[in-house]
Structure 1
Amino acid sequence: MRAFFSTGEASGELLAADLLGALRRRVAVKAEGIGDDRLAAAGVHIVQRTRGWATLGIVEALRNIPRLGLASIRLALHVRTTAPDFVVLIDFGAFNVRFAWLLRRFGFRNPIVYYAPPAAWLDNPVRARQVAALCDPLTIFRHQAEFYRSLHLPIGYVGHPLVSTIEARPPRPPAAAGGGTIALLPGSRAGEIERHTPRLLDALARVREVRPGVQAVIVAANDDAQRHIEHLLAFRSPLPVTLARDTRAVLRDADAAAIASGTAVLEAALIETPAVALYVLGEAQAKIARRIYRGRFITIPNLVLDEPVVPELVQEAATPAALADALLALLDAPQAQRDGYARARAALGPHDALQRNADWVLATVAEHRVPAARALAAGTF
């Protein structure tokens, strides 16, 4: 079989790579797609690199529209010409929804599976109807499945694939008095790195006033992120900081972590690493975001349980002092989050969710359920 994958950022590449591996446990799949290093490492021939596509906030996303618009036309024509057996879109609604519409508009009639459809927690009926008209959606969150079904829209749901790929680490005692290792994860986008890294480093300095032996590891998602972080470090007083790439390895070795809200918070929860989350947008972006989203939480463990398992420091609350206080509390009492983490894992789905998601995709392709009759009625973009 031949497949085409479309991602737009690191978290989507992770989902795509894991899904492709599960598909290949059933059938031989030759894949090409839109992505970056992580997708390429999974054996996907990359036809369009996406580094720099993901943006922080709505204002920056608007600036990206012309570039993404031209790329979507060129890539949709490529898919129409190569005619893969199926297409898998992963999240990244800023590109993938219009890409799906273009594929249908240009005459692609094979299945398009939207794996992890966008706006999982926004309950946007317009976007949900667009996705369901163009694609066969397969969500990784129960909440989104229930929302689609409340609109009488078809959607698949099994569970979150990371419960299949991440095991909890064994319980460990608190870090030695005065010491410990902290993982700092500022995010992968340039805006995230720019806004979060200084706060995280200031928080580390405060933690070291109380625990002088504490050291830190900063996760740099890729070469660009590493250069950006190294540039920020060059203008600061020296701190005991090293840089690394492997998020999960860093989290497994850490006594506590401060993490930009995103998939890495879920990874920490599944590994059972004590963690605090932060997220900071620019002022204009924050105003727009507050109008669009009024939920209580932003991190996946808290959203699935509807309770504050992971402390969230957002916007003005994400001060170095608040981050340091949260990290010190986690270093002193690392077991405090374990019960919540275990409940979050249970709420995310069965342990074999990844393979069952892959089997759902293969069943959809075999049934050839293509919503083509609805596709061109889904509106214009």
Structure 2
Amino acid sequence: MTWRLGLVAGEPSGDLIASRVLAGLSRRDPAMRPEGIGGPNLSAQGMDVWHPMHALTVFGYVDAFKRLPSLLRIYHDVKSRWLREPPQLFLGVDAPDFNFRLENRLKRAGIPTVHFVGPSIWAWRYERIRHIRESVSHMLVLFPFEEAIYRKEGIPVTYVGHPLADAIPMTPDRAAARRRLQISDNARVLAILPGSRSSEVRLIAPRFLQAAQIMQKRDPSLQFVVPMVNEARKLEFETALAQYPVNHLQILLSSTQSGIQTDPTAWLALEACDAALVASGTATLETALFKRPMVISYAVSPMIRRVMGWKSGQERPYLPWVGLPNILLNDFVVPELIQEDATPEKLASAMWGLLDNASLCEQIQNRFAEMHHTLKCDTPTRVAQALEHIVHDGV
């Protein structure tokens, strides 16, 4: 018997993992028919895409305000369609601001709602748990410690592992990556990842480049690889590079095939490097899964910092760490330099503290390997099994 799956994925990462989930579901249950909001990967799996996922993508508070009318139109369109013809199940993938509101309305109409990738309530705005309880029938979480949080609050939850841990090799091939980049096996290579958003590149890249200049004065042969997600970010980075020039630096640009992104260029940079200077975010987890020592850094403008504090009602996260690897390992395994501490001098000093300490690097790599094993769970299969169970047996 045919059954319909409502689905909203609002980011490229969500489009990719949701497409893998659909591939597994389709093999196990060919009667499933997905529909909703997604990108090229979901479309390639046969999903009826009502709106493209980029329609939900916003960068920061100002962009969200400008895009509010179109976001509301899309919201009311998908909501009214699913209320008229309810799907057997709704799956929201990340995009919490959009999906939780939609899930709340659908759940009140009797439609089971599943949310995959929980927001970081363990770091910011724990009070959101009340809205999640009202909106979500079942949570699917990426990290083991999240299960206890939702169970304590009476929310059905399943830990499904992290899709990046399935996709990134347990033993990276540094030599092969360097051959692709035409870098010598004997070179000392540092990856620089200043973020994927315009505001991040404009604010963080100059600090990272000045740190690279300081390090290159100490070792003129030091090489750098810098992955960029698109041409716009590349141009912004090149503007900073013109102001703070660095020798032996390669900029790598992500590519697509038939509109579908191949393995991120960041992965090639991380596989090839000895260590990395990384803006806080998912890139820190990717770096850890590649077993590369890193320095984590982040900075926002004073205005954005005030807005974040006003919206969250707190000046700092609940946890003492901001980087996902440190959070998952419950320890300052790698240095974090945030806001006022993110000076070029401190960044360069912290990087040398890693590059010149082989024993410390080995310890870090061993901790990251343990973390990788914990997160590697065949996430698409676990998600597909959880959805099947909910559809056929209830939440």
Q: TM-score range by the shorter chain?
A: 0.7 to 0.9
Deviation at 1:51, TM superposition (A): 6.5
Q: Distance in 2 between matches of 1:200 and 1:285?
A: 20
Letter in 2 for 1:366: H
Give deviations 1:204-231, integer Å, cap 9, x for gaps.
2222112212222222223443343344
Partner in structure 1 of residue 385 of structure 2: 359
Q: Distance in 1 between matches of 2:206 and 2:112?
A: 45
CA contact (8 A) 1:193 1:225 kept: yes
The answer to whether the aligner puts 1:50 opposite 2:64 as a matched pair is no
The answer to whether the aligner puts 1:111 opposite 2:112 as a matched pair is yes
Task: Give secondary structure in 1 for the equivalent of 2:123.
Answer: coil
The answer to whether the aligner puts 1:270 opposite 2:289 as a matched pair is yes
Deviation at 1:44, TM superposition (A): 5.0
Question: Which protein has greater RCO, CA pairs closer than 8 Å, 6+ apart?
Answer: 1
Deviation at 1:342, TM superposition (A): 2.3
Q: Distance in 2 between matches of 1:54 and 1:5?
A: 19
1:321–1:219 Cα change, 3 Å:
same
Partner in structure 2 of residue 167 of structure 1: 169
The answer to whether the aligner puts 1:241 opposite 2:265 as a matched pair is no
- Within the candidate set 320, 345, 349, 1:325 is matched to 349
1:1-381 equivalent positions in 2, closer than 5 A: 2-28=4-30, 30-36=33-39, 44=47, 46=49, 47-50=51-54, 53-56=57-60, 65-80=68-83, 83-104=86-107, 107=109, 109-122=110-123, 124=125, 126-135=127-136, 136-169=138-171, 179-237=187-245, 239=247, 240-245=249-254, 246-287=265-306, 288=309, 290-291=314-315, 293-332=317-356, 333=358, 334-348=361-375, 351-369=377-395
Normalised TM-score (structure 2) = 0.79
Deviation at 1:143, TM superposition (A): 2.6
Q: Distance in 2 between matches of 1:68 and 1:176?
A: 48
Task: Give secondary structure in 2 for the equivalent of 1:213.
Answer: coil
Give deviations 1:170-222, integer Å, cap 9, x for gaps.
5979x989942222222222222221222222222222112212222222223
Gap regions ≥5 residues in structure 2: 176-182, 255-264
Q: Distance in 2 between matches of 1:72 and 1:59?
A: 19
Deviation at 1:59, TM superposition (A): 6.9
1:3–1:52 Cα change, 3 Å:
closer
Letter in 2 for 1:330: L
Q: Distance in 1 between matches of 2:28 and 2:390?
A: 14
CA contact (8 A) 1:120 1:141 kept: no
Partner in structure 1 of residue 180 of structure 2: none
Task: Give secondary structure in 2 for the equivalent of 1:243.
Answer: strand
Q: Distance in 1 between matches of 2:285 and 2:204?
A: 18
Q: Distance in 2 between matches of 1:218 and 1:51?
A: 28
CA contact (8 A) 1:3 1:30 kept: yes
Task: Give secondary structure in 1 for the equivalent of 2:155.
Answer: coil
Q: Distance in 2 between matches of 1:316 and 1:38?
A: 40
Q: Distance in 1 between matches of 2:208 and 2:23?
A: 35
Q: Number of paired residues?
A: 364
Letter in 2 for 1:71: I
Partner in structure 2 of residue 378 of structure 1: none
Gap regions ≥5 residues in structure 1: 370-381
CA contact (8 A) 1:181 1:215 kept: yes
5-14 vs 179-188, greater mean Cα deviation: 5-14
Letter in 2 for 1:299: G
Deviation at 1:2, TM superposition (A): 4.3
Identity of aligned residues (%): 30
Normalised TM-score (structure 1) = 0.82
Task: Give secondary structure in 1 for the equivalent of 2:28.
Answer: coil
**Cα RMSD, aligned residues only:** 3.2
Deviation at 1:241, TM superposition (A): 2.7
Deviation at 1:24, TM superposition (A): 4.0
Letter in 2 for 1:130: H
Deviation at 1:269, TM superposition (A): 1.0
Deviation at 1:100, TM superposition (A): 1.7
CA contact (8 A) 1:77 1:103 kept: no
Letter in 1 for 2:339: Q
Task: Give secondary structure in 1 for the equivalent of 2:362.
Answer: coil
Q: Distance in 2 between matches of 1:361 and 1:277?
A: 36
Q: Distance in 2 between matches of 1:153 and 1:38?
A: 30
